Amino acid sequence: MPTAEEIQVKEPAGRVAEAAARLDSGVSGTQSGLSPLTPALFPERGEGDDIHGEKLVLNMRPSHPSTHGVLRIVLEMDGEIITKAVPDVGYLHRGDEKIAENMTYTQFIPYTDRLDYLAPLANNVAYVLAVEKLLGIDEQLPPRCQFIRVICCELARISAHLLGLGAFAMDVGALTVFMHTFTEREKIYNLIEALTGARFTTTYTRIGGLSRDLPPGWIDQCRKFLDEVVVNFNESEKLLTRNRIFIDRTREIGVLPKEVAIDYGVTGPNLRGSGVEYDLRKAHPYLVYDQLEFDIPVGSVGDCYDRYLVRMEEMRQSVRILHQCLDKLPPGPINVPDNKTILPAKEKVLTRMEELIHHFILVTQGLNAPPGEVYFSAENPKGELGFYINSRGGGTPHRLKIRAPSFVNLSVLPYLLPGAMMSDVVAILGSIDFVMGESDR
């Protein structure tokens, strides 16, 4: 029996070139079992093409567990080799951007929870920072508010990466890792519940501040979690990083060169895994990230294995950031001192006419935003989450556009999948770590 070193496996780029040289690029849209969408995705075959043999069109349907949501991928197969791949999105039918035009700026905050629903706190922060930039109050945020927002974002990053890595490992056969990562993620949910009153859809951030301050004892609970989660990182790495099966399933699979990643607009860990040292927290600092020390992990090859390593190190850097935030957390208010932006205190609403009027206007009409347009983006777990707001004045946006990182990152699948084996699809999808909630926004 030959050893693993004697088995010659072609490079992904070589498989792509060979598939392109041997096979034609068309397939009949009238073959039995194909959906009405297939003829539009794949053109008709030409005369004499049958001499190469017939290729198979295979649907990875929206219900497939390894598509991490309602993603459909139409694969054109030559045996076990993929010759063409077309991702088909839009099964959630959300329409969040249009919904925003009929709601006040504050009323739209709960909808941001449902974008990357694995990191709702980070979505809240990115959206309100865009609105605060429109209002011109982004420089007035109290220091305590900014530190707590950073804590929320980094807890959300760890939570999202834990689930993403656990699901990725499970996709390629490592079931135990999912149990380890999910255990730590539940601890984060306990912290989030104590902070926000909800575990999943938090709606914690407010325009101009936060809905409430940290509860008593929360900082000590968070420190305890940070000490425990590092132990979990070590255990997960022991199970995966030098695991021969995991390495064979991920190394030199789904290679994304840095030039291609930049051309497609890929961001986040997927871009850094390709060797591009770009992180919005460093490139365009917001909140208090410029006051914190952390490193940006980058890969060298840009394969599934590099993307795994980048996310593992990013979680360690998030722990490092959280320790600094807890150590430096200043006292003071958590909201801007402006009753026309933040709801007045309840006791003042019940006893003073001016606060009652401000409360009534904010609830019924929303805050009065000036005309103009802004774009703000934050470094979310999946990549650059951006909000473009076009305002004509008043309490609701005229137009709102969401730059969803999962949607952009999925656009690279037609490049990554051709030339790969059928069994490589789930590994590549798991390494991209997308959420369809923000893709089908």
As a whole number of angstroms, the distance between CA 100 and CA 102 comes to 5
Contact 412, 86 (CB under 8 A): no
Determine phi and psi for 205, rounding to 5 degrees.
-80, 150
pLDDT digits (tens, 9 = 90+) for 375-397: 999 999 999 999 999 999 888 99
Mean pLDDT score of the chain, rounded to an integer? 86
pLDDT band at 267 (very low <50, low <70, confident <90, very high): very high
Contact 369, 134 (CB under 8 A): yes
3-state secondary structure of 377: strand
pLDDT digits (tens, 9 = 90+) for 175-188: 899 999 999 999 99
What is the per-residue pLDDT for 40?
Answer: 53
In this structure, what token pair is assigned to residue 365?
A: 């009409």
Mean pLDDT over 50-79 rounds to 77
**Quick one: 34 exposed, middle or buried, by C-beta within 10 A (0-12, 13-18, 19+)?**
middle
What is the per-residue pLDDT for 315?
Answer: 96
pLDDT band at 32 (very low <50, low <70, confident <90, very high): very low
As a whole number of angstroms, the distance between CA 399 and CA 379 comes to 23
The domain 96-440 having CATH identifier 1.10.3720.10: the answer here is no
Mean pLDDT over 295-301 rounds to 93
Q: What percent of the chain lies above the pLDDT cut of 70?
A: 87
Mean pLDDT over 353-361 rounds to 83
What is the per-residue pLDDT for 397?
Answer: 94
Beta strands 81-88 and 205-206 are unpaired
The helix/strand count (H/E) of the chain reads as 19, 8
**Distances from the Cα of 408 to the Cα of 37, 121, 158, 261, 271, angstroms:** 22, 21, 22, 10, 11
Q: From 368, 385, 367, select the one nearest 376 (Cα to Cα).
A: 385
pLDDT digits (tens, 9 = 90+) for 228-264: 999 999 999 999 999 999 999 999 999 999 999 999 9
What is the per-residue pLDDT for 311?
Answer: 96
What is the per-residue pLDDT for 46?
Answer: 52
Quickly list DSSP for 252-321. TSS---HHHHHHHT--THHHHHTT----HHHHS--TTGGGS-------SS-SHHHHHHHHHHHHHHHHHH
Q: Is the pLDDT of residue 140 over 50?
A: yes
The reported pTM is 0.85
What is the per-residue pLDDT for 230?
Answer: 95
Q: Is the pLDDT of residue 205 over 80?
A: yes
What is the per-residue pLDDT for 53?
Answer: 60
Mean pLDDT over 260-270 rounds to 95
As a whole number of angstroms, the distance between CA 251 and CA 273 comes to 12
What is the per-residue pLDDT for 364?
Answer: 84
In this structure, what token pair is assigned to residue 344?
A: 């007045």
Q: Is the pLDDT of residue 36 over 50?
A: no
pLDDT band at 341 (very low <50, low <70, confident <90, very high): confident
What is the per-residue pLDDT for 22?
Answer: 47
Helix 218-240 to helix 143-171 angle (10° resolution) is: 30
pLDDT digits (tens, 9 = 90+) for 74-106: 999 988 899 999 999 888 888 899 999 999 999
As a whole number of angstroms, the distance between CA 169 and CA 166 comes to 5
> What's the DSSP call for residue 350?
T
**What are the domain boundaries of the chain?**
12-88, 96-440
What is the per-residue pLDDT for 24?
Answer: 45
pLDDT band at 15 (very low <50, low <70, confident <90, very high): very low
Q: From 219, 228, 262, 214, select the one nearest 409 (Cα to Cα).
A: 262
